[in-house]
Structure 1
């Protein structure tokens, strides 16, 4: 868009709810504080030093006023792209707009008088909600207050135990002042871009909307690394230019795990100036229901894709900032972990343009829920007319504003509305709602026919959350404490939420945030997520698996050996996630996708995130990175059928690799070994019975139990056929005995060196080392939480917090741990 943001020295002021009915009643002596706009009250408080992340003030009890004085005369258009939530707009003492819709943009015609004063008032939400009454068929437990259904606002901050009580209040998106008479050719121009494929060609449809009269015509072009395509825009109406560009043999946009996310820059030439309109990509997204009843998968450009990733909550909970800085590092961490999809859940908030733009560039598909969750939104469109009008405005505006983004793959009506109805005991006939069955799908069909529509997450099946049919939220392994084989027994098709645990951050994050004694500190438990109404939290769930898999007593370990407890807590989550995704990615699996709950923590502590609130990856991030690779080896226990090896090539190139299978006794001696060269065609996977790689019987999984075990570790390694001395391309481990005490000490060692200004750590071991992890006092290891075979070494770059380079004057020093090591190995320069 052309430059037209209303800028200046904004101020803000807090008053008691209802203390001033208009700006004329505000005290002349009031102390206005500087306010960032776009921004929130929380962001303004943070800038003023009045904000505490550990104890956020309840913002819905007061009114908040914003004020800006600016010059200008004549007719203008004021456009507000996001006001949270009960908002009034006063210009020169006159009320020009009232709204109770955080997610909709509003535009009003105004007359400026030279020196102007704009006031925004954000009314206290809680007093207003207490007056709202409506007949509903169920009330969700997790959302407080349940009357929040009556207003269109984010549920972030309203889910105790789920996220901190940070309330969204203020002008959270930009404010524009449009001048229809402006002589600036780019002023206020809004681009509407969409794409489609016609055979091998890509077609770009471009419309430019002008606040004033549109020019007679303009030039446009689409540019990529290989060249450009030019075209013309013609006047379609008083305020609109439109035209198309055809890109012959268009390069396809792919998720980065399967190819290049190719993009084209679309520009228009207006009055000698260049307007950047969008970056677009060409791809097809299809729903694949072939196979057994209940199947659900995605095909991208005709290729079936296993979707993996995480749900995102908020990259900046207090400020809701829409900047490359706010979202960039989180999405890069998602991409670097091997994710190809992120989900924006209906209990969160629509991200800004920067989020979708970076997903396009990084090759991350987006599963986008609309912001409807858990509530009863009505059984009849006419009976809920006001809500449906708000929904039509919100969904329609969002679809139009994001049409250019190829990353947006799945559009979902909302989160857990059907599940909530079913679990609250309402009759089956009340589970479905016309908002999701009629209104939203009609808008999606009109504006984004190139995306898949899912009516709710979860949905389908005898229960809406049934794992073997359609979309599910799978917490069998996890909150419901099912054994690991349930990941197969449940016959999961596609899980848009799964594997929630209280994931322990690294020692540095704990130390920096005063959580060095987490086991006896109430602040620790305050950061552990929990479900409303449950007698347990997600640390209890992690402890359940710690006891079941590692055969330790978590309470006793916690108070007798707290460091050991934390290390095993980190390891067990890494192990669970590796095991479950190995099951879901194996050849023959019914599962076509899994999205972990969640990507990042909102506060430092043992939260759901696989990345902590400081941006440091936790143990499950590293484990998932190893099991989400496009070129991958996996191992699965098939009972009396032995061990199966699965080799996957998702890339567009054929790969020739050497597969090595080693069975180790005492973590060191090779009991048996087999090698097999493999050539995998593009997008090909294969399954090999480990027994077929030997010419004699060997009990890989110790299923037959003829005598004592002959081995304690199975290690499968993929190496490039032309470079077998290099680091493995992929490695998988099977342990017949998972107990934490089952393996001998590995005898780790480490050394560091500086090469061209970068520090590198080399880790070696005599015996198999289980879940090797590194705690450096100054640096972050690029790789962590991995297994290391006997006699192997791993060379690891040590990075600063930004991910590259070195720290001025810093020298690496630290310890290398493994969960089967009695003592860590120290290293320094």
Structure 2
């Protein structure tokens, strides 16, 4: 095998059509070193000719890639895994491929000489975007060009206000050559299943080349000789005994097993698979959407994936891993790849398989009215889906296949009737291929869809922004009766100060560079900072504009805290027993530039405060609270694990954040995969106006703390807090005790003991990432926080961490 990413590449940009074929190339003077896989934007950036923070259009030029290489002469198969977007491939000045689809994969038979040159011309996309096609029934405002509906390319880079306008051009996925005589698998179909009785079964069909041996399928200690079928393929089914089921990490172990096909002396790998059964759960009334994994209802929580490397479109494990581990560490169990993004590589799915993260995959269609009466367009779509679903074969993490994003919503919001916005693309073409190739994965026609209108949150799949962009009160999360939020809770989340100082050292709101990185909907007269400010005023009772003007540092502190507080309360509503909600995915996991973007993780890879809030809200064993007014404070206790859990739950109502007015506790044995609701009275033993709903006299307390402990170990599992008078910020001067400790293994931790309740406690430690941050801390018990050194920071490993502690209601700083 020849990896053409290891040879020397160069690129040159020309006017559109300057060279019709590769025969006349070579006269360009502006060759730039390039990488494969890679992009034009990445190569130009490396050469100092492109600024990703101020990108210029790249779709108005032709770009020629060129590489010379030596090889043993003979016949080979040229594998091209992704070309963006209108591409012509020339080997030794003979055209071997023409592609018009960024999402296709190609295997091209070629003949090599001793010395070879491979040239790829990426034609200017602009003329294709300006070309006229069939008339659209609606025109969305999402992207800059209506012509994007006619070209199979990503919308990334074309959505101002959503992401940097870095255009995807170039060979963004690997290119390699294999000798044509190499034994290999050229077609495959893999289906791993887990029956209701726990029996695991793996059915595999393969078509082999360059071997006459009868293949043997092996997985999890079980083997079977494969049988030749009438169509020339080989097929077999094995039923490994004792194979563990694959579960998302929140509910169990993501067990994986190697799959191989042995043909004589050749071991051909089909990667790893896991045994699981996924069913769509439409609820008792048939109006919901959710998932059962191996018969267990799973509350799906996580975020919408954007991209790990917008500049280079890298798809390696090394690029994906940090963000996917951040998702796993935050307690997420699902990521959605939206229709406005990009199909990710096999490495993405493999890591999700290993980490126990479910993947919701939108096919790459969004908002537009696509020309499905064009037979050539439909043929291209069908080939695209086969390429992409072939990549996913055997992956247990693939949990939902979806026809796209907001296609139905766009048409319906334009006032069109259902027969005009619901059509064959999502109802016939896409599900037919999805069902054929991945019958083990539920299909959803669109996100959102399902109600009297496709965007009604109380049926099917919603894009819920009642709490959020529509500025509804927090109670709307319950009133809307959300069944499943394919996306929700989009806020302009502010990064930590270190990231701002390194990547955006400007004052919030007073500098155009700050506002340029605040997301907004194209054509709207508001942005998502306005949304955050609305809830800042609602929760903290301050005027955001006056605060930003008079005390910008305090504005940032409150702005960082408020989005996590809103998200935590909303997920408490959605996870409580009695809710109809079966899952919700926050918009989005990560930012593409440093700034107050939608991401829960900033562009430097650092978690934002909202990430920590969701990490606490997403725990599989948790206690959370909801204010039920005159019905008191409801305490919801959940155990999503497969084992029963003995716990102790306590409550304390504190006056002045310090003096216990009333308290109580109760022991519980949580059954596996169970949830129950208690009232505060169940713990206290008598009536007490915990929510301050009756208002008999002045309030007796200002904060209620609910703690959940592991009975066997005494470990604190989770905490929940309720503020009956609102999140007042009367600042006190009772400094907590803070110390840094090191264990025998050399790991560092921070020990904190508060004298008075601390609201949104922040530990800032250069060179370290705390396992918990922006947390509320009740007085009395010590809190131990593990510290992990960040790999990108240079420091003395033996030196104790140094930093400072602050809190929103503490009038001071504690250095340590």
Q: TM-score, length-normalised on structure 1?
A: 0.95
Report the Cα distance in structure 2 between the residues aligned to 1:805 and 1:189, rounded to whole angstroms.
Answer: 47
Asked whether 1:178 is paired with 2:166, we answer no
Q: Is the 8 A contact 1:500 1:598 kept in 2?
A: yes
Q: Write the mapping of 1:150-549 to structure 2, written as runs, cut at 5 A.
A: 150-182=150-182, 185=183, 192-198=189-195, 199-210=197-208, 212-223=209-220, 228-236=221-229, 240-378=233-371, 381=372, 383-549=373-539
For the residue of structure 1 that corresponds to 2:556, the secondary structure is helix
Report the Cα distance in structure 2 between the residues aligned to 1:53 and 1:163, rounded to whole angstroms.
Answer: 11
Q: Is the 8 A contact 1:746 1:768 kept in 2?
A: no
Asked whether 1:814 is paired with 2:807, we answer no
Asked whether 1:759 is paired with 2:758, we answer no
Q: Is the 8 A contact 1:468 1:490 kept in 2?
A: yes
Shift of 1:804: 12
Shift of 1:122: 0.1
Deviates more, 1:801-810 or 1:402-411: 801-810
RMSD over aligned Cα atoms: 2.1
Aligned residue for 1:567? 557
For the residue of structure 2 that corresponds to 1:118, the secondary structure is strand
Shift of 1:116: 2.5
Q: Is the 8 A contact 1:61 1:126 kept in 2?
A: yes
Aligned residue for 2:79? 79
For the residue of structure 1 that corresponds to 2:204, the secondary structure is strand
For the residue of structure 2 that corresponds to 1:634, the secondary structure is strand
Q: Write the mapping of 1:31-46 to structure 2, written as runs, cut at 5 A.
A: 31-46=30-45
Report the Cα distance in structure 1 between the residues aligned to 2:129 and 2:656, rounded to whole angstroms.
Answer: 65
Q: Is the 8 A contact 2:2 2:177 kept in 1?
A: no
Aligned residue for 1:823? 812
Shift of 1:574: 1.1
Q: Write the mapping of 1:119-130 to structure 2, written as runs, cut at 5 A.
A: 119-130=119-130
For the residue of structure 1 that corresponds to 2:215, the secondary structure is strand
Shift of 1:285: 0.8
Deviates more, 1:347-356 or 1:425-434: 425-434
* 1:739-781 per-position Cα deviation (integer Å, ceiling 9, x unaligned): 4425645532311123332222112210111111111133221
Aligned residue for 1:609? 599
Q: Is the 8 A contact 2:750 2:786 kept in 1?
A: yes
Shift of 1:272: 3.4
* 1:245-278 per-position Cα deviation (integer Å, ceiling 9, x unaligned): 2212431110110010111111233453533321
Shift of 1:447: 1.1
Asked whether 1:721 is paired with 2:699, we answer no
Aligned residue for 1:781? 770
Q: Is the 8 A contact 1:757 1:805 kept in 2?
A: no
Q: Any gaps of 5 or more consecutive residues in structure 2?
A: none
Report the Cα distance in structure 1 between the residues aligned to 2:469 and 2:343, rounded to whole angstroms.
Answer: 27
Aligned residue for 1:50? 49
Q: Is the 8 A contact 1:193 1:278 kept in 2?
A: no
Aligned residue for 2:587? 597
Alignment CA distance shift 1:33-1:72 (3 Å):
farther
Q: Is the 8 A contact 1:83 1:101 kept in 2?
A: yes
Report the Cα distance in structure 1 between the residues aligned to 2:4 and 2:236, rounded to whole angstroms.
Answer: 27
Give the one of 787, 798, 816 matched to 1:798: 787
Report the Cα distance in structure 2 between the residues aligned to 1:129 and 1:178, rounded to whole angstroms.
Answer: 35
Shift of 1:796: 1.3
Alignment CA distance shift 1:653-1:238 (3 Å):
closer
Shift of 1:72: 4.6
For the residue of structure 1 that corresponds to 2:648, the secondary structure is strand
Shift of 1:318: 1.3
Report the Cα distance in structure 2 between the residues aligned to 1:21 and 1:805, rounded to whole angstroms.
Answer: 51
Shift of 1:173: 1.5
Q: Is the 8 A contact 1:752 1:761 kept in 2?
A: yes
Deviates more, 1:65-74 or 1:648-657: 65-74
Alignment CA distance shift 1:521-1:805 (3 Å):
closer
Alignment CA distance shift 1:294-1:27 (3 Å):
same
Shift of 1:190: 6.5
Report the Cα distance in structure 1 between the residues aligned to 2:286 and 2:240, rounded to whole angstroms.
Answer: 39
Shift of 1:589: 0.9
Deviates more, 1:578-587 or 1:733-742: 733-742
Shift of 1:298: 1.0
Report the Cα distance in structure 2 between the residues aligned to 1:463 and 1:806, rounded to whole angstroms.
Answer: 56
Report the Cα distance in structure 2 between the residues aligned to 1:619 and 1:21, rounded to whole angstroms.
Answer: 53
Give the one of 637, 642, 647 matched to 1:652: 642
Aligned residue for 2:10? 11
Report the Cα distance in structure 1 between the residues aligned to 2:230 and 2:27, rounded to whole angstroms.
Answer: 48
For the residue of structure 1 that corresponds to 2:59, the secondary structure is helix
Q: Is the 8 A contact 1:149 1:375 kept in 2?
A: yes
Report the Cα distance in structure 2 between the residues aligned to 1:482 and 1:363, rounded to whole angstroms.
Answer: 34
For the residue of structure 1 that corresponds to 2:741, the secondary structure is strand
* 1:203-255 per-position Cα deviation (integer Å, ceiling 9, x unaligned): 22334444x433322334213xxxx2223345558975443322124311101
For the residue of structure 2 that corresponds to 1:685, the secondary structure is strand
For the residue of structure 2 that corresponds to 1:61, the secondary structure is coil
Report the Cα distance in structure 2 between the residues aligned to 1:514 and 1:743, rounded to whole angstroms.
Answer: 29
Q: Is the 8 A contact 1:601 1:611 kept in 2?
A: yes
Aligned residue for 1:558? 548
Between the two proteins, the alignment pairs up a number of residues equal to 813
Q: Is the 8 A contact 2:461 2:485 kept in 1?
A: yes
* 1:58-110 per-position Cα deviation (integer Å, ceiling 9, x unaligned): 11111111112233534333232211101111222222221210001123333
Shift of 1:193: 2.9
Alignment CA distance shift 1:6-1:644 (3 Å):
closer
* 1:280-317 per-position Cα deviation (integer Å, ceiling 9, x unaligned): 01111111123235222211111111110000010111
Alignment CA distance shift 1:804-1:363 (3 Å):
farther
Aligned residue for 2:725? 737
Aligned residue for 1:661? 651
Report the Cα distance in structure 1 between the residues aligned to 2:289 and 2:561, rounded to whole angstroms.
Answer: 32
Aligned residue for 1:678? 668
Alignment CA distance shift 1:446-1:365 (3 Å):
same
Alignment CA distance shift 1:813-1:584 (3 Å):
same
Shift of 1:794: 1.2
Report the Cα distance in structure 2 between the residues aligned to 1:127 and 1:805, rounded to whole angstroms.
Answer: 49
Shift of 1:809: 5.6
